[in-house]
Amino acid sequence: MLAVICVNLITNPVLNLLSYASTRLWDWQNSVVSVTLVLVGAEAVVVLVEWGLLAWALGGGRRRLLLVSLAMNAASTLAGVILFW
């Protein structure tokens, strides 16, 4: 559980900063499609990075750790969309 928390503490602030910067640098606030594409792309990168970090920290079970990374990010993204959309 500690590895999952540490991985999230590394990737979440970076993702939030990049999301904030992308909406400020480009006039995408009015385009749901553009914001969705940026979010999906960024989340895909985060899933891969977190998967790699979890595999490095915990070893073994690479497929299972990919599913853990996907589940963590799907839940986090859904919560963010519900709270802030």
pLDDT digit string (tens) for 15-39? 888 777 776 776 655 576 777 777 8
| Angle between the N-to-C axes of helices 2-25 and 62-84, in degrees from 0 to 180, rounded to the nearest 10 | 50
**How many domains does the chain contain in total?**
1
pLDDT(83) > 60: yes
Residue numbers of the domain that contains 41: 2-84
pLDDT(43) > 80: yes
Contact indicator for 3, 57 with CB cutoff of 8 Å: yes
pLDDT for 28 equals: 55
pLDDT for 27 equals: 63
Q: What is the CA radius of gyration of the chain?
A: 14
Exposed e or buried b for every residue in 60-83, given b needs 16+ CB within 10 A?
Answer: eeeeebbebbeebbeebbeeeeee
